[in-house]
Structure 1
Amino acid sequence: MTVAAGRVPGLGHALALARGPMRFIQGLRAQGDVVTFYLGTTPIHQINSPELIRRVLVTDAHRFGRGQIFAKARQLFGDGLATADEPAHMRQRRIMQPAFHRDRMAAYVDIMRSEMREFVDSWRPGHVVRLDREISQLTLAVTAKALFRADLGTAAVSEVCRSLGPILNGVTKRAMVPDVYERIPTPGNRRFDAGLRRLTTIVDEVIKAYRESGTDHGDLLSMLVASEMTDTEVRTQVMNILMAGTDTTAITLSWAFHELAADPAVRHKVFEEVDTVLGGRPVTAADIPRLLYVERVVAETVRMHTPVWLLMRKAISPVTLGDVTLAPGAQVMISMPALHRDPALFTDPLRFDPDRWLDPRASEWPKAGVLVPFGAGRHRCIGEAFALAEMITALVTVCQNWELLPVPGHRVREVARAFLRPNALLMTVQRR
């Protein structure tokens, strides 16, 4: 078994991880297919080989349950689609799957486009916007209106935006420290607890309104309310969707606009394709398969800036991975960004290159375990197609009329919180 260097008695590798999470994790890739590091006295086995990653997520998935972060999220949000183990996960997935069917995508894209037009119409040429924050509010509004069509109201959406960030950051932090930490009244813990109370209250009020109206809005929440689930179970699913889908899409979109701003050649290729395919009219779901270069821009952003920086699993039966035999209860970790930035797998991986997706091997990367931004196997993200359509629709809607340029002197850094996100994305907006 290969153990990472720099272990400190009692603390393990916690200090190195805290100082630079991605630097530490990326450094483990060169040390072997399976490398063990310690959080305190708890061993975590990082899986680096694409073949072994595929075994964990797909072929031997029955040997693994959700890992430590999911267990912590389950304590807080309940046993929902994003946190549940089998067989509950598959039962819930079957209930929700119709809401994500491709037949519904046309209606979703119409909602996405409408929200995004309202979003960009508030801009003024020459103004500087904090794009990452604005996009976060936008994606939350899109999720609320596309999947929960009864209007949540401006105040409710704003409250969810305010509450969700501290909650998501708190889940990751609490998974990495002993349980006793949660009972210490630190400012972060107080923000977390207050945010969770507010978010739970908001979701309960929306569910109550759906029950009392008796109206089928043709959305996921109507489907859940009409099922045999209790209000508590419905709330769990809503919280899981808000937790799993909203911030990841917003972060990826933020990075996409950052990359377009940094590379005029890529930006103007996007402009050219948007103008050619749409001719000035609004984008529809039928246009998305024709926007091939925009699709590659999104794919490259998802690869290079995968927001989910760690995925954890727990062995539920003895299993051997490489030269390590895991006992039941062993914690396994996969870092998608570290995988996707490995120079042994991708040529010049830190260069943003949408045309790398013209490589004939690209279609095989997910099957080979080389590219897994949405997970793989039975727990692959149910909202993948929804998220991709949302990102393409957002890029097209903005690029039809606006050019976003970096603010001189402002440095954008990657920070590891609940997700890998830009520290602050300041952009100057100009009419094309």
Structure 2
Amino acid sequence: MRSAPRPSRDGAAAVPTVRSWPVLGSAVPLARDPLGFVSSLRTRGDVVAIRVGPQRMYVINDRALIRQVLVDQAYSFDKGRQFDKLRPWWGNGLANSTGEFHLRQRRLMQPAFHRQQIASYLPDMCEAAEQYVGSWPSGRAIALDEELYVLTLSMVLRNLFSTSAEDRSLARVQAALSVILKGLLWRCLDTTDRLEKLPLPVNRRFTAALTDMHAVVDDIIARHTADRADLLTMLQQARDPDTGEAMSRQQVHDEVCTILITGSETTRSTLSWICYELSRRPDIQHRVQAEVDDVLAGEPLRAEHVERLPYTRSVITETLRAYPVVWLLTRRALTDVQLGSYRIPEGAVICYAPYALQHDPELYPDPEHFDPDRFRADAAPSPAGCPAGRRPRDAFIAFGAGIHSCIGEPLAWAQTVTILATLARHWTLAPAPRTKVRPAARMLLLPDRLPLVLHPRRAPAPGAT
């Protein structure tokens, strides 16, 4: 149970401070067990202060206060240090931008993510899924997380930018993003900004990977023609309704970089955890297969099937709850802010952990148990009174909330349902012998490895039920 906050001299509640190591602060437990550490802070108070190196940070644990930060008082915060550190490497795409510029970009890009537009991408998505999933080897362990990465990245390159899956771009982006994402987290946590400037091999590899990724993006844009009905065309043709202005070439570049990363790595993360859970829970896997068999009747997935797979979608939702792709996020106070009984000073760094929130037993009973049925329409409410049968408004933030919620959520759902349904149609997953899978909480939450054995299954004949 959380202790009641004590008032400070000015009447605001005093923020409890977590005791930490000299000089390093909480950097050591955060590095050793990041998920366990952020989850443990929930018991310390609705808001607690930690120190990472010389930087004091306020960790928000209460769902109502997190909503204040993301929705009710969103304009009192910018995205903070985490995104400041990303911007020089990732550009000023929608995921990094703030303020009026962010709202302008969101308006320009929104049509590309409307439901009707996503439906137009589905045939190519299904074709890519059938091509890749059907080619995987059977009866022996394969690194499924790596195979899923190639598939999701291929979808982005070929299906959204009309770039061939066999194009040299695929291998170059795959290699570059792997290096970039491994290096981003510790750069965000290095509050001295010194380690990244040292002439170390890891820094040289990071710089080389960034250079190569940006070169690939420039090449994609240069070879692209406007007669293609894809996402890049929509970005290039988008016009501000007030000024009639188009995005600059650099801004299109930055948005393409953002989509490459968020459209491949995030979906790969979710699908990897889904496959992990299916492999260790045959009961859940069989229910997904039965639903897919019933709805698809032995044929590849089509756009009209996506909304007719409720249990499959519940599996995805439960995965996003248990393994949120971005497990920790930051904000920065632009002015003094009152959050409940706490006063947060201007310039303060704010952190909140979707992982900790979505593992709170008061919101999700037995949170470590993987249970897609908790999202059924007739599911019982949690002890905290969260409504049954739908995502609790403040307790599920896998896609964010408010003005900075993920614009690509419809695309992520389409990709994930397409790949999962195709996989369930072709294969039964089993764990590789003598292998333990652990979470790797870097910039994104991924399995440290995912060797699984695929056994072929016979899909029902077309028209069968």
Q: TM-score, normalised by structure 2?
A: 0.89
Alpha-carbon distance in structure 2 between the residues aligned to 1:243 and 1:398:
23
The CA deviation at 1:365 is 4.1
The residue identity in structure 1 corresponding to 2:201 is P
2:235–2:247 contact (8 Å) kept in structure 1: yes
1:356 is aligned to 374
Report if aligned partners of 2:18, 2:49 keep a CA contact under 8 Å in 1: no
SS at match of 1:249: helix
Residues 146-187 of structure 1, C-alpha deviation per residue, up to 9 Å, x if partnerless?
321243752111110100122122222211102121111223
Residues 335, 346 of structure 2: 8 Å contact kept: yes
Q: Distance in 1 between matches of 2:392 and 2:362?
A: 16
Q: Check the 8 A contact 1:4/1:28 in 2, yes or no.
A: no
Listed as ranges, the matches of 1:241-256 within 5 Å are: 241-256=259-274
1:62 aligns with 75
How far is the alpha carbon of 1:83 from its aligned partner?
A: 0.1
Match of 2:205 in 1: 191
**How far off its partner does 1:245 sit?**
3.0
Q: Output one character per residue of 1:203-251: Cα deviation in whole Å (capped at 9) or x when no partner.
A: 11111222xx4x3312221233335223222111111222333211101
Q: Which of 114, 117, 126 is matched with 1:113 structurally? A: 126
Alignment equivalent of 1:424, drawn from 428, 449, 454: 449
* 2:462 equivalent in structure 1: none
TM-score if structure 1 supplies the norm length?
Answer: 0.96
Residue 48, structure 1, aligned to residue 66, structure 2 = no
Cα distance, 1:386–1:243 mapped onto 2, change above 3 Å: same
The residue aligned with 1:10 is 23
* 2:236 corresponding residue in structure 1: 225
Q: Say if 2:282 is the partner of 1:264.
A: yes
1:49 positional shift: 0.5
Match of 2:317 among 299, 314, 338: 299
Q: Secondary structure at the match of 2:99?
A: coil
Contact 1:150 1:217 in 2 (8 A): no
Instruction: Specify the SS of the correspondent of 1:400.
Output: helix
Corresponding residue of 1:133: 146
Count how many residue pairs are aligned between Structure 1 and Structure 2: 428
Q: 1:250 to 1:100 in 2, by over 3 A?
A: same
- Preserved contact between residue 67 and residue 313 of structure 1 (Cα < 8 Å): yes
Helix, strand or coil for the counterpart of 1:87? Answer: helix
Matched letter for residue 255 of structure 1: W
| CA distance in structure 2 between the aligned counterparts of 1:135 and 1:245, rounded to whole angstroms | 12
Distance across 2 between alignment mates of 1:5 and 1:62? 28
Change (3 A) 1:384 1:362: farther
Alignment partners' CA distance in 2, 1:23 and 1:163: 30
Pair 90,251 (structure 1): closer, same or farther in 2 beyond 3 Å? same
- The residue that corresponds to 2:301 in the other structure is 283
Aligned counterpart in structure 1 of residue 258 of structure 2, from 222, 240, 243: 240
Note if contact 2:119-2:303 (Cα within 8 Å) is conserved in structure 1: yes
Aligned position for 1:370 = 395
What is the letter of the counterpart of residue 252 of structure 1?
Answer: T
Is it true that 1:411 corresponds to 2:425 in the alignment? no
Please identify runs of 4+ aligned residues in structure 1 that moved more than 6 A.
none
2:214 corresponds in structure 1 to 200
The structure with the greater share of residues assigned to helix is: 1
Q: From the CA coordinates, give the structure whose radius of gyration is larger.
A: 2
Give 1:399 deviation, angstroms: 0.9
CA distance in 2, matches of 1:230, 1:153: 29
> Are the equivalent residues in 2 in contact too, given 1:277–1:290 (CA < 8 A)?
yes
* Partner-residue secondary structure (3-state), 1:110: helix
**Which of 403, 413, 431 lines up with 1:388 in the alignment?**
413
**C-alpha displacement at 1:392, in angstroms?**
1.1
What pairs up with 1:67-216 in 2 under 5 angstroms? 67-151=80-164, 153-177=166-190, 178-210=192-224, 213=225, 215-216=226-227
Equivalent-residue separation in structure 2 for 1:149 and 1:330 (angstroms): 43
Distance 1:391 1:11, change over 3 A: same
Match of 2:365 among 340, 344, 347: 347
CA shift in 2, pair 1:239/1:179, >3 Å: same
Between the aligned partners of 2:107 and 2:228, the Cα distance in structure 1 is: 19
Deviations 1:299-332 (A, max 9, x none): 1111111110111111112101234311221111
Unmatched segments (≥5 aa) in structure 2? 1-13, 239-245, 381-386, 458-465
